Structure 1
Amino acid sequence: MAIIHPTAIIDSSVNLAEDVEIGPNVFIDANVTIGAGTRLMHGAHIGRWTTIGNGNQIFPYAVIGQAPQDIGYNQEEAHTVIGDHNIFREGVTVHRGNRENTSTVIGNNNFFMVNSHIAHNCRIGDHVILVNGALLAGHVEVGNRAIISGNCQVHQFVRIGELAMMRGGSGATKDVPPFCINDEMSWIRSVNLIGMRRNGFDTSRILAVKRAFKAIFRTGKRLEDSIQELESQKEVTPDVRMLIDFIRASKRGVGSGRGKLAE
Protein backbone atom coordinates (compact mmCIF):
# COMPACT_ATOMS: atom_id res chain seq x y z
CA MET A 1 0.00 0.00 0.00
CA ALA A 2 1.26 3.48 -0.88
CA ILE A 3 2.26 5.82 1.96
CA ILE A 4 0.79 9.27 1.27
CA HIS A 5 1.27 12.37 3.41
CA PRO A 6 -2.04 14.17 4.05
CA THR A 7 -0.73 17.43 2.56
CA ALA A 8 0.04 15.84 -0.83
CA ILE A 9 -2.22 16.77 -3.76
CA ILE A 10 -2.83 13.83 -6.09
CA ASP A 11 -5.19 13.74 -9.07
CA SER A 12 -7.80 10.99 -8.91
CA SER A 13 -6.52 9.47 -12.17
CA VAL A 14 -3.05 8.78 -10.76
CA ASN A 15 -1.99 5.12 -10.57
CA LEU A 16 0.31 4.33 -7.62
CA ALA A 17 1.94 0.91 -7.22
CA GLU A 18 2.78 -0.81 -3.95
CA ASP A 19 5.22 0.82 -1.54
CA VAL A 20 5.23 4.23 -3.24
CA GLU A 21 6.01 6.93 -0.70
CA ILE A 22 4.54 10.41 -1.23
CA GLY A 23 5.94 13.13 1.05
CA PRO A 24 4.51 16.44 2.29
CA ASN A 25 3.27 18.99 -0.26
CA VAL A 26 3.94 16.75 -3.25
CA PHE A 27 1.83 17.54 -6.32
CA ILE A 28 0.94 14.85 -8.88
CA ASP A 29 -1.09 15.87 -11.94
CA ALA A 30 -3.46 13.79 -14.04
CA ASN A 31 -2.65 10.61 -15.97
CA VAL A 32 0.49 9.72 -14.04
CA THR A 33 1.70 6.20 -13.22
CA ILE A 34 4.33 5.57 -10.54
CA GLY A 35 6.01 2.20 -10.03
CA ALA A 36 6.69 0.22 -6.88
CA GLY A 37 9.13 1.51 -4.31
CA THR A 38 9.47 4.99 -5.79
CA ARG A 39 9.84 7.77 -3.24
CA LEU A 40 8.74 11.39 -3.78
CA MET A 41 10.09 13.75 -1.14
CA HIS A 42 8.46 16.96 0.04
CA GLY A 43 7.59 19.53 -2.58
CA ALA A 44 8.26 17.29 -5.59
CA HIS A 45 6.06 18.03 -8.63
CA ILE A 46 5.01 15.45 -11.23
CA GLY A 47 3.38 16.80 -14.40
CA ARG A 48 0.64 15.08 -16.35
CA TRP A 49 1.19 12.20 -18.78
CA THR A 50 4.24 10.97 -16.86
CA THR A 51 5.21 7.34 -16.30
CA ILE A 52 7.77 6.61 -13.59
CA GLY A 53 9.16 3.12 -13.03
CA ASN A 54 10.25 1.28 -9.92
CA GLY A 55 12.62 2.33 -7.16
CA ASN A 56 13.18 5.94 -8.20
CA GLN A 57 14.13 8.65 -5.70
CA ILE A 58 12.75 12.12 -6.40
CA PHE A 59 14.19 14.69 -4.01
CA PRO A 60 12.61 17.93 -2.74
CA TYR A 61 11.45 20.42 -5.35
CA ALA A 62 12.36 18.34 -8.37
CA VAL A 63 9.92 18.92 -11.24
CA ILE A 64 9.35 15.93 -13.51
CA GLY A 65 7.15 15.92 -16.62
CA GLN A 66 6.14 19.58 -16.78
CA ALA A 67 5.34 21.39 -20.03
CA PRO A 68 8.32 22.08 -22.32
CA GLN A 69 9.91 25.50 -22.67
CA ASP A 70 8.80 25.75 -26.29
CA ILE A 71 6.64 28.62 -27.51
CA GLY A 72 5.13 26.28 -30.13
CA TYR A 73 3.72 23.91 -27.51
CA ASN A 74 -0.07 24.15 -27.16
CA GLN A 75 -0.78 21.74 -24.30
CA GLU A 76 -0.99 18.71 -26.59
CA GLU A 77 -0.74 15.34 -24.91
CA ALA A 78 2.96 14.58 -24.75
CA HIS A 79 4.81 12.26 -22.41
CA THR A 80 7.65 11.71 -20.00
CA VAL A 81 8.77 8.10 -19.59
CA ILE A 82 11.22 7.22 -16.81
CA GLY A 83 12.70 3.79 -16.08
CA ASP A 84 13.84 2.26 -12.81
CA HIS A 85 16.21 3.22 -9.98
CA ASN A 86 16.98 6.77 -11.05
CA ILE A 87 17.90 9.56 -8.62
CA PHE A 88 16.62 13.09 -9.21
CA ARG A 89 18.18 15.47 -6.70
CA GLU A 90 16.90 18.84 -5.52
CA GLY A 91 15.70 21.22 -8.19
CA VAL A 92 16.13 18.86 -11.14
CA THR A 93 13.77 19.63 -14.03
CA VAL A 94 12.62 17.18 -16.71
CA HIS A 95 10.19 18.38 -19.41
CA ARG A 96 7.83 16.26 -21.47
CA GLY A 97 7.72 16.13 -25.27
CA ASN A 98 6.95 19.29 -27.19
CA ARG A 99 4.43 17.92 -29.73
CA GLU A 100 1.53 15.51 -29.62
CA ASN A 101 2.54 11.91 -28.92
CA THR A 102 6.22 12.76 -28.47
CA SER A 103 8.17 11.84 -25.35
CA THR A 104 11.16 12.56 -23.19
CA VAL A 105 12.64 9.17 -22.29
CA ILE A 106 15.01 8.32 -19.43
CA GLY A 107 16.43 4.85 -18.86
CA ASN A 108 17.61 3.15 -15.67
CA ASN A 109 20.10 3.77 -12.86
CA ASN A 110 20.84 7.38 -13.77
CA PHE A 111 21.94 10.09 -11.34
CA PHE A 112 20.77 13.65 -11.95
CA MET A 113 22.38 16.04 -9.48
CA VAL A 114 21.12 19.38 -8.11
CA ASN A 115 19.62 21.82 -10.62
CA SER A 116 20.44 19.78 -13.71
CA HIS A 117 17.95 20.13 -16.57
CA ILE A 118 16.63 17.70 -19.19
CA ALA A 119 14.60 19.46 -21.85
CA HIS A 120 11.81 18.16 -24.08
CA ASN A 121 12.30 15.10 -26.28
CA CYS A 122 15.65 14.12 -24.79
CA ARG A 123 16.74 10.48 -24.78
CA ILE A 124 18.89 9.37 -21.85
CA GLY A 125 20.37 5.88 -21.64
CA ASP A 126 21.41 3.96 -18.51
CA HIS A 127 23.95 4.76 -15.77
CA VAL A 128 24.28 8.37 -16.96
CA ILE A 129 25.42 11.11 -14.56
CA LEU A 130 24.45 14.77 -14.89
CA VAL A 131 26.39 16.83 -12.35
CA ASN A 132 25.06 20.00 -10.69
CA GLY A 133 23.88 22.61 -13.16
CA ALA A 134 24.33 20.51 -16.31
CA LEU A 135 21.87 21.62 -19.00
CA LEU A 136 20.53 19.53 -21.88
CA ALA A 137 18.55 21.36 -24.56
CA GLY A 138 15.74 19.75 -26.52
CA HIS A 139 16.20 16.51 -28.48
CA VAL A 140 19.61 15.73 -26.95
CA GLU A 141 20.61 12.05 -26.84
CA VAL A 142 22.96 10.72 -24.16
CA GLY A 143 24.46 7.23 -24.37
CA ASN A 144 24.99 4.75 -21.57
CA ARG A 145 27.47 5.63 -18.81
CA ALA A 146 28.18 9.09 -20.14
CA ILE A 147 29.06 11.83 -17.65
CA ILE A 148 27.98 15.46 -18.14
CA SER A 149 30.00 17.44 -15.59
CA GLY A 150 28.99 20.51 -13.63
CA ASN A 151 27.61 23.54 -15.49
CA CYS A 152 28.01 21.94 -18.91
CA GLN A 153 25.72 23.05 -21.74
CA VAL A 154 24.55 20.80 -24.57
CA HIS A 155 22.95 22.32 -27.67
CA GLN A 156 19.69 20.94 -29.04
CA PHE A 157 19.89 17.79 -31.20
CA VAL A 158 23.46 17.02 -30.04
CA ARG A 159 24.34 13.40 -29.27
CA ILE A 160 26.66 12.38 -26.45
CA GLY A 161 28.11 8.91 -27.06
CA GLU A 162 28.45 5.96 -24.73
CA LEU A 163 31.13 6.43 -22.05
CA ALA A 164 31.80 9.96 -23.26
CA MET A 165 32.55 12.69 -20.73
CA MET A 166 32.13 16.46 -20.80
CA ARG A 167 34.57 18.33 -18.58
CA GLY A 168 33.16 20.85 -16.12
CA GLY A 169 31.91 24.07 -17.69
CA SER A 170 32.36 22.86 -21.25
CA GLY A 171 29.84 23.15 -24.05
CA ALA A 172 28.84 20.95 -26.96
CA THR A 173 27.28 22.31 -30.14
CA LYS A 174 28.40 19.20 -32.04
CA ASP A 175 28.27 15.51 -31.24
CA VAL A 176 30.66 14.00 -28.69
CA PRO A 177 31.74 10.52 -29.86
CA PRO A 178 31.82 7.45 -27.59
CA PHE A 179 34.81 7.09 -25.25
CA CYS A 180 35.86 10.72 -25.78
CA ILE A 181 36.29 13.74 -23.50
CA ASN A 182 34.76 17.05 -24.58
CA ASP A 183 36.41 20.24 -23.31
CA GLU A 184 35.92 23.98 -23.83
CA MET A 185 33.49 24.38 -26.77
CA SER A 186 33.22 21.18 -28.81
CA TRP A 187 36.92 20.32 -28.51
CA ILE A 188 37.35 16.53 -28.47
CA ARG A 189 40.27 16.60 -26.11
CA SER A 190 41.20 12.99 -25.38
CA VAL A 191 40.07 9.45 -24.67
CA ASN A 192 38.11 8.81 -21.47
CA LEU A 193 40.69 6.39 -20.10
CA ILE A 194 39.51 6.51 -16.49
CA GLY A 195 35.92 5.88 -17.49
CA MET A 196 36.90 2.92 -19.65
CA ARG A 197 39.03 1.39 -16.89
CA ARG A 198 36.28 1.84 -14.32
CA ASN A 199 33.90 0.01 -16.62
CA GLY A 200 36.13 -3.02 -17.04
CA PHE A 201 37.85 -2.33 -20.36
CA ASP A 202 41.07 -4.34 -20.61
CA THR A 203 44.32 -3.00 -22.05
CA SER A 204 43.75 -4.31 -25.56
CA ARG A 205 40.33 -2.65 -25.85
CA ILE A 206 41.66 0.65 -24.54
CA LEU A 207 44.66 0.61 -26.90
CA ALA A 208 42.40 -0.06 -29.90
CA VAL A 209 40.23 2.95 -29.01
CA LYS A 210 43.29 5.16 -28.41
CA ARG A 211 44.75 4.25 -31.80
CA ALA A 212 41.42 4.96 -33.49
CA PHE A 213 41.09 8.27 -31.65
CA LYS A 214 44.51 9.42 -32.80
CA ALA A 215 43.81 8.33 -36.37
CA ILE A 216 40.55 10.31 -36.43
CA PHE A 217 41.40 13.40 -34.42
CA ARG A 218 45.18 13.89 -34.48
CA THR A 219 46.48 13.31 -38.00
CA GLY A 220 45.03 16.43 -39.61
CA LYS A 221 43.43 14.34 -42.36
CA ARG A 222 39.86 14.73 -43.55
CA LEU A 223 37.47 12.94 -41.23
CA GLU A 224 36.12 10.70 -43.99
CA ASP A 225 39.64 9.74 -45.11
CA SER A 226 40.61 8.82 -41.54
CA ILE A 227 37.54 6.65 -41.09
CA GLN A 228 38.07 4.87 -44.39
CA GLU A 229 41.65 4.07 -43.39
CA LEU A 230 40.43 2.63 -40.09
CA GLU A 231 37.83 0.50 -41.84
CA SER A 232 40.45 -0.85 -44.24
CA GLN A 233 42.41 -2.42 -41.40
CA LYS A 234 42.37 -6.19 -41.01
CA GLU A 235 40.49 -6.10 -37.70
CA VAL A 236 38.08 -3.43 -36.48
CA THR A 237 37.10 -4.08 -32.88
CA PRO A 238 33.46 -3.65 -31.75
CA ASP A 239 34.45 -0.54 -29.77
CA VAL A 240 36.11 1.07 -32.78
CA ARG A 241 33.12 0.10 -34.91
CA MET A 242 30.85 1.86 -32.41
CA LEU A 243 33.04 4.97 -32.69
CA ILE A 244 33.00 4.89 -36.49
CA ASP A 245 29.26 4.25 -36.74
CA PHE A 246 28.49 7.08 -34.32
CA ILE A 247 30.53 9.54 -36.39
CA ARG A 248 29.00 8.36 -39.67
CA ALA A 249 25.49 8.84 -38.24
CA SER A 250 26.15 12.39 -37.11
CA LYS A 251 23.91 15.11 -38.52
CA ARG A 252 25.46 18.02 -36.63
CA GLY A 253 29.04 16.88 -37.12
CA VAL A 254 31.43 15.95 -34.35
CA GLY A 255 33.63 18.22 -32.27
CA SER A 256 37.08 19.19 -33.47
CA GLY A 257 40.23 17.39 -32.39
CA ARG A 258 42.66 18.98 -34.80
CA GLY A 259 45.37 21.47 -33.96
CA LYS A 260 45.64 20.34 -30.32
CA LEU A 261 48.06 18.03 -28.60
CA ALA A 262 46.75 14.63 -27.64
CA GLU A 263 46.10 14.07 -23.96
Structure 2
Amino acid sequence: MATIHSTALVDPAAQLDPSVTVGPYTIIGPNVVIGAGSTVGSHCTIEGHTTIGQNNHIHSYSSLGAAPQDKKYAGEPTRLVIGNGNTIREFCTFNAGTVNGGGVTQVGDDNLFMAYVHLAHDCQIGSHTIFANNSQLAGHVVVGDWVILGGFTVVRQFLRLGAHSFTAMCTLLFADLPPYVTCQGQPASARTVNAEGLRRRGYSPARIAAVRAMHKALYRENLTLEAAKERILQMAKDKPEVQADVDMMHDFLSGVSPKVGIVRSRRRSVD
Protein backbone atom coordinates (compact mmCIF):
# COMPACT_ATOMS: atom_id res chain seq x y z
CA MET A 1 0.00 0.00 0.00
CA ALA A 2 1.09 3.57 -0.68
CA THR A 3 2.20 5.62 2.33
CA ILE A 4 -0.75 7.93 2.88
CA HIS A 5 -0.99 10.36 5.78
CA SER A 6 -3.95 9.73 8.05
CA THR A 7 -5.47 13.14 7.24
CA ALA A 8 -5.28 12.71 3.46
CA LEU A 9 -8.41 11.79 1.52
CA VAL A 10 -7.60 9.33 -1.25
CA ASP A 11 -10.51 7.82 -3.17
CA PRO A 12 -10.40 3.99 -3.07
CA ALA A 13 -10.65 3.92 -6.86
CA ALA A 14 -7.47 5.96 -7.35
CA GLN A 15 -4.50 3.94 -8.59
CA LEU A 16 -1.36 4.70 -6.59
CA ASP A 17 1.82 2.65 -6.88
CA PRO A 18 2.80 1.13 -3.51
CA SER A 19 5.91 3.34 -3.42
CA VAL A 20 3.91 6.60 -3.62
CA THR A 21 3.77 8.86 -0.56
CA VAL A 22 0.95 11.33 0.10
CA GLY A 23 1.22 14.17 2.63
CA PRO A 24 -1.27 15.57 5.14
CA TYR A 25 -4.63 17.00 4.04
CA THR A 26 -4.15 16.14 0.39
CA ILE A 27 -7.20 15.10 -1.68
CA ILE A 28 -6.90 12.62 -4.55
CA GLY A 29 -9.89 11.76 -6.74
CA PRO A 30 -11.10 8.44 -8.16
CA ASN A 31 -9.73 8.83 -11.70
CA VAL A 32 -6.15 9.60 -10.69
CA VAL A 33 -3.17 7.35 -11.48
CA ILE A 34 0.24 8.00 -9.85
CA GLY A 35 3.35 6.01 -10.79
CA ALA A 36 6.21 4.55 -8.80
CA GLY A 37 8.51 6.75 -6.75
CA SER A 38 6.29 9.83 -6.87
CA THR A 39 5.64 11.98 -3.82
CA VAL A 40 2.71 14.31 -3.15
CA GLY A 41 3.10 16.98 -0.49
CA SER A 42 0.56 18.37 1.93
CA HIS A 43 -2.65 20.21 1.04
CA CYS A 44 -2.60 19.23 -2.65
CA THR A 45 -5.67 18.50 -4.76
CA ILE A 46 -5.33 16.02 -7.63
CA GLU A 47 -8.59 15.43 -9.43
CA GLY A 48 -10.20 14.70 -12.77
CA HIS A 49 -8.76 12.15 -15.19
CA THR A 50 -5.15 12.73 -14.24
CA THR A 51 -2.24 10.41 -14.92
CA ILE A 52 1.11 11.11 -13.25
CA GLY A 53 4.17 9.04 -14.14
CA GLN A 54 7.14 7.90 -12.11
CA ASN A 55 9.46 9.83 -9.78
CA ASN A 56 7.52 13.07 -9.80
CA HIS A 57 7.76 15.35 -6.77
CA ILE A 58 4.65 17.46 -6.17
CA HIS A 59 4.99 20.04 -3.44
CA SER A 60 2.39 21.55 -1.13
CA TYR A 61 -0.78 23.34 -2.20
CA SER A 62 -0.66 22.36 -5.86
CA SER A 63 -3.88 21.79 -7.85
CA LEU A 64 -3.62 19.28 -10.69
CA GLY A 65 -6.32 18.10 -13.09
CA ALA A 66 -9.03 20.59 -12.22
CA ALA A 67 -11.66 21.52 -14.80
CA PRO A 68 -10.42 23.92 -17.49
CA GLN A 69 -11.19 27.60 -17.11
CA ASP A 70 -13.21 27.64 -20.32
CA LYS A 71 -16.89 28.58 -20.57
CA LYS A 72 -17.40 25.97 -23.30
CA TYR A 73 -16.37 23.14 -20.98
CA ALA A 74 -19.41 20.99 -20.16
CA GLY A 75 -17.96 18.36 -17.86
CA GLU A 76 -16.42 16.09 -20.51
CA PRO A 77 -13.85 13.56 -19.21
CA THR A 78 -10.80 15.39 -20.53
CA ARG A 79 -7.36 14.64 -19.15
CA LEU A 80 -4.11 15.85 -17.63
CA VAL A 81 -1.10 13.63 -18.37
CA ILE A 82 2.24 14.22 -16.64
CA GLY A 83 5.38 12.25 -17.55
CA ASN A 84 8.31 11.17 -15.36
CA GLY A 85 10.83 12.94 -13.18
CA ASN A 86 9.08 16.29 -12.91
CA THR A 87 9.34 18.65 -9.96
CA ILE A 88 6.20 20.70 -9.30
CA ARG A 89 6.71 23.27 -6.59
CA GLU A 90 4.21 25.02 -4.34
CA PHE A 91 0.87 26.47 -5.54
CA CYS A 92 1.11 25.26 -9.14
CA THR A 93 -2.14 24.84 -11.11
CA PHE A 94 -2.32 22.49 -14.11
CA ASN A 95 -5.78 22.23 -15.71
CA ALA A 96 -7.25 19.38 -17.75
CA GLY A 97 -7.84 19.77 -21.48
CA THR A 98 -10.94 20.59 -23.48
CA VAL A 99 -12.69 18.68 -26.23
CA ASN A 100 -12.02 21.44 -28.75
CA GLY A 101 -8.32 21.46 -27.84
CA GLY A 102 -7.71 17.74 -28.22
CA GLY A 103 -8.86 16.68 -24.78
CA VAL A 104 -5.53 16.55 -22.97
CA THR A 105 -3.05 18.84 -21.26
CA GLN A 106 0.33 17.11 -21.63
CA VAL A 107 3.58 17.47 -19.68
CA GLY A 108 6.76 15.61 -20.66
CA ASP A 109 9.70 14.46 -18.52
CA ASP A 110 12.31 16.05 -16.27
CA ASN A 111 10.74 19.50 -16.05
CA LEU A 112 11.04 21.97 -13.17
CA PHE A 113 7.97 24.05 -12.42
CA MET A 114 8.71 26.60 -9.71
CA ALA A 115 6.08 28.10 -7.41
CA TYR A 116 2.80 29.51 -8.76
CA VAL A 117 3.19 28.22 -12.33
CA HIS A 118 -0.10 27.96 -14.24
CA LEU A 119 -0.67 25.64 -17.21
CA ALA A 120 -4.07 26.28 -18.74
CA HIS A 121 -6.13 23.76 -20.69
CA ASP A 122 -4.63 21.93 -23.68
CA CYS A 123 -1.07 23.13 -23.17
CA GLN A 124 1.61 20.78 -24.49
CA ILE A 125 4.90 20.91 -22.58
CA GLY A 126 8.03 19.09 -23.76
CA SER A 127 10.86 17.77 -21.59
CA HIS A 128 13.79 19.33 -19.68
CA THR A 129 12.09 22.72 -19.39
CA ILE A 130 12.32 25.21 -16.53
CA PHE A 131 9.38 27.43 -15.61
CA ALA A 132 10.52 30.03 -13.08
CA ASN A 133 8.18 31.40 -10.41
CA ASN A 134 4.82 32.77 -11.59
CA SER A 135 5.22 31.74 -15.24
CA GLN A 136 1.72 31.65 -16.71
CA LEU A 137 0.48 29.94 -19.87
CA ALA A 138 -2.94 30.56 -21.39
CA GLY A 139 -4.69 27.73 -23.22
CA HIS A 140 -3.35 25.73 -26.17
CA VAL A 141 0.29 26.82 -25.76
CA VAL A 142 2.99 24.45 -27.08
CA VAL A 143 6.40 24.55 -25.38
CA GLY A 144 9.34 22.65 -26.89
CA ASP A 145 12.12 20.78 -25.12
CA TRP A 146 14.75 22.66 -23.09
CA VAL A 147 12.78 25.92 -23.00
CA ILE A 148 13.40 28.22 -20.03
CA LEU A 149 10.79 30.76 -18.93
CA GLY A 150 11.97 33.55 -16.67
CA GLY A 151 9.93 34.54 -13.65
CA PHE A 152 6.58 36.24 -14.33
CA THR A 153 6.60 35.30 -18.02
CA VAL A 154 3.07 35.43 -19.47
CA VAL A 155 2.19 33.63 -22.72
CA ARG A 156 -0.96 34.33 -24.74
CA GLN A 157 -3.16 31.45 -25.92
CA PHE A 158 -2.39 29.40 -29.06
CA LEU A 159 1.30 30.31 -29.17
CA ARG A 160 4.36 28.09 -29.67
CA LEU A 161 7.77 28.30 -28.02
CA GLY A 162 10.49 26.50 -29.95
CA ALA A 163 13.05 24.18 -28.39
CA HIS A 164 15.97 25.81 -26.52
CA SER A 165 14.29 29.22 -26.47
CA PHE A 166 14.53 31.49 -23.43
CA THR A 167 12.44 34.31 -21.99
CA ALA A 168 13.77 36.91 -19.59
CA MET A 169 11.94 37.88 -16.41
CA CYS A 170 8.57 39.62 -16.85
CA THR A 171 8.34 38.81 -20.57
CA LEU A 172 4.94 39.09 -22.27
CA LEU A 173 4.56 36.93 -25.38
CA PHE A 174 2.03 37.75 -28.11
CA ALA A 175 3.74 35.84 -30.95
CA ASP A 176 5.53 32.54 -31.58
CA LEU A 177 9.08 32.32 -30.21
CA PRO A 178 11.39 30.47 -32.64
CA PRO A 179 13.84 27.80 -31.42
CA TYR A 180 17.09 29.00 -29.80
CA VAL A 181 15.91 32.62 -29.51
CA THR A 182 16.21 34.66 -26.32
CA CYS A 183 13.56 37.34 -25.86
CA GLN A 184 12.68 40.06 -23.39
CA GLY A 185 10.12 42.79 -22.89
CA GLN A 186 6.41 43.69 -22.90
CA PRO A 187 5.68 42.79 -25.62
CA ALA A 188 8.63 40.49 -26.13
CA SER A 189 11.34 41.30 -28.64
CA ALA A 190 14.09 38.99 -29.87
CA ARG A 191 17.52 39.68 -28.39
CA THR A 192 20.05 36.99 -29.27
CA VAL A 193 20.48 33.21 -29.28
CA ASN A 194 20.56 31.01 -26.20
CA ALA A 195 24.23 30.18 -26.76
CA GLU A 196 25.07 29.47 -23.13
CA GLY A 197 22.22 26.99 -22.84
CA LEU A 198 23.38 25.24 -26.02
CA ARG A 199 26.96 24.99 -24.72
CA ARG A 200 25.71 23.42 -21.51
CA ARG A 201 23.82 20.83 -23.58
CA GLY A 202 26.92 19.84 -25.53
CA TYR A 203 26.40 21.74 -28.78
CA SER A 204 29.61 21.99 -30.79
CA PRO A 205 31.00 25.39 -31.87
CA ALA A 206 29.92 24.58 -35.44
CA ARG A 207 26.32 23.97 -34.39
CA ILE A 208 26.22 27.13 -32.29
CA ALA A 209 27.62 29.08 -35.23
CA ALA A 210 24.82 27.69 -37.40
CA VAL A 211 22.24 28.76 -34.83
CA ARG A 212 23.72 32.26 -34.85
CA ALA A 213 23.55 32.30 -38.65
CA MET A 214 19.87 31.33 -38.55
CA HIS A 215 19.19 34.10 -36.06
CA LYS A 216 21.01 36.55 -38.34
CA ALA A 217 18.87 35.48 -41.30
CA LEU A 218 15.71 36.00 -39.27
CA TYR A 219 16.56 39.28 -37.59
CA ARG A 220 19.58 41.02 -39.11
CA GLU A 221 19.52 40.63 -42.89
CA ASN A 222 16.39 42.58 -43.81
CA LEU A 223 14.67 39.45 -45.16
CA THR A 224 11.02 38.55 -45.20
CA LEU A 225 10.09 35.44 -43.25
CA GLU A 226 9.80 33.39 -46.46
CA ALA A 227 13.19 34.55 -47.67
CA ALA A 228 14.72 33.81 -44.27
CA LYS A 229 13.32 30.28 -44.41
CA GLU A 230 14.97 29.71 -47.78
CA ARG A 231 18.28 31.10 -46.51
CA ILE A 232 18.13 28.83 -43.49
CA LEU A 233 17.51 25.75 -45.65
CA GLN A 234 20.73 26.43 -47.55
CA MET A 235 22.86 26.39 -44.39
CA ALA A 236 23.01 22.60 -44.06
CA LYS A 237 24.25 21.91 -47.58
CA ASP A 238 27.91 22.47 -46.73
CA LYS A 239 27.62 21.45 -43.07
CA PRO A 240 25.63 18.21 -42.69
CA GLU A 241 26.29 18.18 -38.94
CA VAL A 242 23.80 21.06 -38.54
CA GLN A 243 21.04 19.44 -40.60
CA ALA A 244 18.89 18.58 -37.57
CA ASP A 245 19.12 22.14 -36.22
CA VAL A 246 18.24 23.64 -39.60
CA ASP A 247 15.34 21.23 -40.05
CA MET A 248 13.93 22.07 -36.62
CA MET A 249 14.07 25.81 -37.26
CA HIS A 250 12.61 25.50 -40.75
CA ASP A 251 9.79 23.21 -39.58
CA PHE A 252 8.92 25.63 -36.78
CA LEU A 253 8.85 28.64 -39.10
CA SER A 254 6.74 26.72 -41.61
CA GLY A 255 4.09 26.33 -38.93
CA VAL A 256 3.84 30.03 -38.11
CA SER A 257 0.37 31.47 -38.63
CA PRO A 258 0.26 34.77 -40.54
CA LYS A 259 -2.15 36.05 -37.91
CA VAL A 260 0.33 35.32 -35.12
CA GLY A 261 3.80 35.78 -36.61
CA ILE A 262 7.02 35.43 -34.66
CA VAL A 263 8.58 37.52 -31.93
CA ARG A 264 10.19 40.50 -33.61
CA SER A 265 13.44 42.32 -33.05
CA ARG A 266 13.47 45.98 -32.12
CA ARG A 267 16.13 46.44 -34.77
CA ARG A 268 14.12 44.83 -37.53
CA SER A 269 10.54 43.65 -38.00
CA VAL A 270 10.07 40.24 -39.63
CA ASP A 271 6.94 39.90 -41.80
* TM-score, length of structure 1 as denominator length: 0.95
The 3-state SS of whatever aligns with 1:127 is coil
Please name the residue that 1:18 is paired with.
18
Please name the residue that 1:170 is paired with.
171
Please say if residues 28 and 48 of structure 1, whose CA atoms lie closer than 8 Å, have aligned partners that are also in contact: no
Q: Which amino acid aligns with 2:4?
A: I
Partner residue of 2:248 out of 242, 247, 258: 242
Distance 1:202 1:89 in 2: 33
Deviation (angstroms), 1:110: 0.5
Equivalent residues, number: 260
Aligned-CA RMSD value:
1.4
Q: Which amino acid aligns with 2:200?
A: R
Please name the residue that 2:204 is paired with.
202
Deviation (angstroms), 1:19: 0.6
Deviation (angstroms), 1:229: 2.6
Q: Which amino acid aligns with 2:38?
A: T
The 3-state SS of whatever aligns with 1:207 is helix
Distance 2:32 2:6 in 1: 19
Distance 1:57 1:146 in 2: 20
> What does 1:206-225 correspond to in 2, within 5 Å?
206-225=208-227
Distance 2:178 2:72 in 1: 31
Distance 1:107 1:90 in 2: 19
Distance 2:18 2:136 in 1: 33
Please say if residues 181 and 188 of structure 1, whose CA atoms lie closer than 8 Å, have aligned partners that are also in contact: yes
Please name the residue that 2:267 is paired with.
259
Distance 2:266 2:42 in 1: 49
**CA gap 1:96/1:244 in 2 versus in 1, 3 angstroms:** same
Which sits farther off after the overlay, 17-26 or 240-249? 240-249
Please say if residues 109 and 126 of structure 1, whose CA atoms lie closer than 8 Å, have aligned partners that are also in contact: yes
Does 1:230 pair with 2:232? yes
Please say if residues 131 and 149 of structure 2, whose CA atoms lie closer than 8 Å, have aligned partners that are also in contact: yes
Provide Cα deviations, 1:15-56, integer angstroms capped at 9, x if missing partner.
111210011000011211110111011101101200001111
* TM-score, length of structure 2 as denominator length: 0.92
The 3-state SS of whatever aligns with 2:265 is coil
